[in-house]
Amino acid sequence: MDQAAIIGVGMTKIEANKAGDTFADMVWEAVNKALDDAGMTINDVDNVVTTSNDFWDGRTISCMAVGDASGARHKNASCVEGDGTFGAFYGLTRALSGDYGTTLVTAHSKGSESISSLITNAAFDPIYERAIGMDMITACAMQATAYLDRTGTTPDQLAMVSVKNHGNAKQNPLAQLPMDLTVDDVLKSEMLSDPLHKLDCSPVSDGCCAIIIANQARASKYSGRPVWIKGVSFCSDSYFLGDRDLARAPSLAQAAQSAFAMAGIKDPATEIDVAELYDAFTYQELMWLEAMGLCEDGKAGSRLESGDFHRNGRLPVNPSGGLLSGHPVIAAGLIRIAEIVKQLRGEAGGYQIPDARRGVAQGVNGLCGQSHCVWVLDRDNQEKEIG
Amino acid sequence: MADTLADVEPMIYESQISVPYSWWAGDTASRFFRSLRDEKKIMGTKCAKCSRVYIPPRKVCPSCFSENPEWTEVSDQGVLQSFTIARRQLASLPEKVPVILGLIKLDGADTGLLHYLDEVDQKQLRIGMRVKAKFADNRSGGIRDIEYFRPAK
Ligand SMILES: [Zn+2]
């Protein structure tokens, strides 16, 4: 009863502007792909968790509008505002509760339809901070400054993350920005906010992802090959940027430690075969790697230089191309989970990591990584109880 | 679905959600803003348990989950904890770029305040530099009653 698996995943192509699809069209596509993948029909779905954000959708109570395309009518449907990994966490607890055998989780956004800078500015405290005019890019640029200063990581090393991930995206037919880049290309791209160049930042994107979670009794009932959920945890830091040490990510460290412990993993740096991390900005991939214990503190930049995180390296990171190659917010973390499922099933095509057995996916919510959700997935199901 | 566009130009529907808000600042922020406006003083609140001084002031210490009952004045000078120079005119920025944004830990405070930096050579910007608040001439009771921070002499 205490085991659960992901038995179906569905993703739209990530695009700069899906003019042909409304948000509901995208959800319809992803949900049907996930159902096909699992070998299920909508009647086999016991409950639905949607993930959306009113400002990105431009409508209030946005979760209710997305229900129709998710097949939620006349089902128990609930909603999470934030990244899709958090919606999936809620969906997992519902499947583990015993009340529902299967949960469909969706997450979508169309960044092309609004103005990200204004939406993320509104995440700042309206009384004390909003009038300054910061947004996600400027706040994360400030975090990047602090991280570079503390660790000695260089702008060249940040640029290498962009080169690697855009290059990986060339093998991923769903990625928005497959590109052949050099470090020089990144460093010569427009400086948006020091030290972040345009090519250090993920693009504005449209896309949707759906996954189906099943408890143990239902996980093998359908034709979809289950990937087992071995450890999950999330943790949040203080809200105000000035209350945190921006150069570190203690909430991620805590979430990762408890997710890995739940999965029985003692040394994640050697026991994890593939990672899909929340690289909304180049520096974040390096900072998150260190906080998760996948690499020594302050060393991610030099490990990247020596090839550790490339597709053929010690620990391939974002072989799909990551968020730098396509970043539909809200769906972003759920896509990381779906990509790990593909890897562990051996279905990742041109970016398949050979014999990937264990993987980790990460989602982020809030400014500068305030809150993190970490998923440890396994190809096989050893009998170890969750929680 | 996208192949329909080969023949048909997609319709675009322009709209917005426009809802004005009137935020009550609350008694803690009200006192902070009154001190800025009327006395050019920067006031923080202090946690009774861990003694951390919060700027901007909070009624509750997020570390201890207990109240910050005591008010204490902090310095108008402090240390730059981090910074960025916004160079693209992002939609959220009310000022013309380049805009220098910083996180400043004032002497006597334990947390950083987000604000602007100005009157500084961009090449001299570094974490750890000493800065000092310049108050606005016309103050209306808001965070921009501090106009910006500049290098301390
Ligand atoms: Zn305290």
ipTM rounded to 2 decimals: 0.94
For chain B, what is the domain count?
A: 1
| Chain A residue with Cα closest to B80 | A146
**B5 contacts A243? CB cut-off 8 A:** no
Same domain, A234 and A373: yes
Domain that holds residue A345: 134-203+230-378
A335: pLDDT confidence band, cut at 50, 70 and 90? very high
In whole angstroms, what is the distance from residue A256 CA to residue A270 CA?
Answer: 15
How many residues are recorded in chain A? 387
- Has residue B97 been placed in a domain? yes
Number of Cβ within a 10 Å radius of residue A313:
15
In whole angstroms, what is the distance from residue A49 CA to residue A97 CA?
Answer: 14
Least confident of A18-32, A122-136, B2-16: B2-16
- Digit-coded pLDDT (tens) for A173-222: 999 999 999 999 999 999 999 999 999 999 999 999 999 999 999 999 99
A206-215/A102-110 β-pairing: antiparallel
Candidates A26, A29, A73; CA nearest to A47 is A73
Same domain, A315 and A345: yes
How near does any CA of chain A get to the CA of B125, in Å?
Answer: 11
In whole angstroms, what is the distance from residue A378 CA to residue A89 CA?
Answer: 16
- Digit-coded pLDDT (tens) for B29-64: 999 999 999 999 999 999 999 999 999 999 999 989
Same domain, A303 and A346: yes
- Digit-coded pLDDT (tens) for A60-107: 988 888 888 888 888 999 999 999 999 999 999 999 999 999 999 999
The alpha carbon of B142 and the centre of ligand 1 are apart by a number of angstroms equal to: 26
Angle at A70 between CA A177 and CA A54, to 5 degrees: 70
What is the residue type of B118? Answer: D
In whole angstroms, what is the distance from residue A161 CA to residue A310 CA?
Answer: 9
Verify whether residue A79 is a known catalytic residue: yes
Domain boundary among A151, A186, A219: A219
Same domain, A81 and A170: no
Whether B79 has its CB under 8 Å from any CB of chain A: the answer is no
**A58 contacts B21? CB cut-off 8 A:** no
A387: pLDDT confidence band, cut at 50, 70 and 90? very low
**Chain centroid offset of residue B50 CA:** 24
- Digit-coded pLDDT (tens) for A310-331: 999 999 999 999 999 999 999 9
For chain A, what is the domain count?
A: 2
- Has residue B21 been placed in a domain? no
Main-chain phi, psi angles of A203, to 5 degrees:
-85, 170
In whole angstroms, what is the distance from residue B73 CA to residue A335 CA?
Answer: 48
As a whole number, mean pLDDT of residues A365-378 equals: 98
pLDDT at B1 over 90: no
- Has residue B8 been placed in a domain? no
Residue A190, Cβ density class (10 Å: 0-12 exposed, 13-18 middle, ≥19 buried): exposed
- Digit-coded pLDDT (tens) for B92-113: 999 999 999 999 999 999 999 9
Helix segments in A179-272, DSSP class H: 183-188, 216-219, 250-262, 268-271
**Chain centroid offset of residue A232 CA:** 13
In whole angstroms, what is the distance from residue A81 CA to residue A85 CA?
Answer: 11
- Has residue B3 been placed in a domain? no
